């Protein structure tokens, strides 16, 4: 069990649980004792992560989930309630990157795809999660994965940056609206993280591909496990006064 947190009586939902930050988050919740709903559009990969969790002695269930579809998100929340009676935590980590390039090179299809997953997906998730959390004793905690690109502009992916700025706006607004009903909503803003998505972005940007995060103040990219640990902390009682907070876990990227 993760010695830092004891979530043994809790249920957590993680979107994007098949890879990257979502996978690390699902593993971290399970290691802290939570029963984890692994929600991902890649059902086979999510099932593999679930098997990894079970080999480590954890528990949970995998469910196919397209965050662009409200019914699909609702089914993932329903699994938590059916299996455990409540949904205590949610980490909304599903996301897609934009294509490296200037604004005039971005297409309508790119805009719709990025906004559909990164923004509409978080909107669908929060609506379903908050609906459940406000109906149960004890409320709950939600952490949305935004990005350092949601705090500053991007020289390479304007639409991606816009989607992540919007996630912060949704987070803060929902936090204000539902805090007194026992639901805490916060956001986390990673920059470069050693994940498949970061590798795909780096492959399109020679400077990033060559330095492996060396230009960051920390001298490296963050690890998925570091981001997951911050998400778990935001869900814990230790972060009980964090409401609408936006936590930069970005290896110092936005410190300048």
DSSP E strands in the chain: the ranges are 11-15, 35-40, 59-64, 89-92, 140-145, 183-190, 246-249
**Sign of the alpha-carbon dihedral angle for 171, 173, 178, 180:** positive
* The pLDDT of residue 3 is above 60: no
Average pLDDT over residues 115-119: 97
Q: 11-249 belongs to which homologous superfamily?
A: NAD(P)-binding Rossmann-like Domain (3.40.50.720)
> What pLDDT is stored for residue 207 in this prediction?
47
- At residue 240, the pLDDT reads 97
pLDDT of residue 197: 65
pLDDT digits (tens, 9 = 90+) for 9-57: 999 999 999 999 999 999 999 999 999 999 999 999 999 999 999 999 9
User: What are the start-end ranges of the E strands in 45-130?
Assistant: 59-64, 89-92
218-252 pLDDT, tens digit each: 888 889 999 999 999 999 999 999 999 999 998 88
pLDDT score, position 210: 42
Reduced to 3 states, what is the DSSP secondary structure of residue 205? coil
Express each pLDDT in 183-227 by its tens digit. Answer: 999 999 998 887 766 655 555 544 444 455 667 888 888 899 999
Which residue has tokens 């309630």?
81
Cα–Cα distance measured from residue 218 to residue 19, given in angstroms and rounded to the nearest whole number: 24
Interacting residues of 90 by C-beta distance below 8 A, sequence separation 6+ = 12, 13, 14, 15, 125, 129, 140, 141, 142, 143
Domain boundaries of the chain, sorted by first residue? 11-249
How far apart, in Å, are the Cα atoms of 221 and each of 42, 58, 238? Answer: 26, 28, 26
**Token digits of residue 253:** 């990227």
Q: What's the confidence (pLDDT) of residue 199?
A: 59
pLDDT at residue 192, as a whole number: 83
What share of the chain has pLDDT > 70, as a percent? 91
Catalytic residue positions?
A: 160
What is the phi-psi region of residue 217: left when phi exceeds 0, alpha when psi lies from -120 to 50, beta otherwise? alpha
Average pLDDT for the chain: 91
């Amino acid at each position: 069990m993760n010695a830092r947190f004891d979530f043994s009586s809790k249920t957590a939902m993680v979107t994007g649980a098949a890879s990257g930050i979502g996978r690390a988050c699902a593993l971290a919740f399970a290691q802290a004792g939570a029963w984890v709903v692994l929600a991902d559009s890649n059902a086979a990969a999510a099932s593999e992560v679930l098997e990894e969790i079970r080999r480590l002695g954890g528990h949970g269930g995998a469910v196919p989930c397209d965050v662009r579809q409200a019914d699909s998100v609702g089914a993932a929340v329903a699994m938590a309630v059916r299996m455990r009676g409540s949904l205590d935590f949610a980490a909304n980590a599903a996301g897609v990157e934009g294509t490296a390039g200037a604004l005039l090179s971005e297409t309508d299809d790119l805009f719709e795809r990025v906004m559909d997953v990164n923004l509409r997906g978080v909107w669908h998730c929060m609506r379903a999660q908050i609906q459940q959390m406000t109906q149960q004793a004890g409320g709950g905690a939600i952490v949305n994965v935004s990005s350092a690109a949601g705090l500053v502009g991007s020289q390479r992916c304007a639409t991606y940056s816009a989607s992540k700025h919007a996630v912060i706006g949704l987070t803060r607004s929902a936090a204000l609206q539902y805090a007194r009903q026992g639901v805490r909503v916060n956001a986390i803003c990673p920059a470069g993280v050693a994940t498949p998505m970061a590798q795909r972005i780096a492959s399109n940007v020679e400077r990033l591909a060559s330095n492996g995060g060396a230009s960051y103040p920390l001298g490296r990219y963050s690890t998925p496990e570091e981001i997951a640990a911050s998400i778990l902390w935001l869900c814990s009682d230790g972060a009980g006064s964090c409401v609408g907070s936006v936590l930069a876990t970005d290896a110092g990227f936005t410190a300048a």
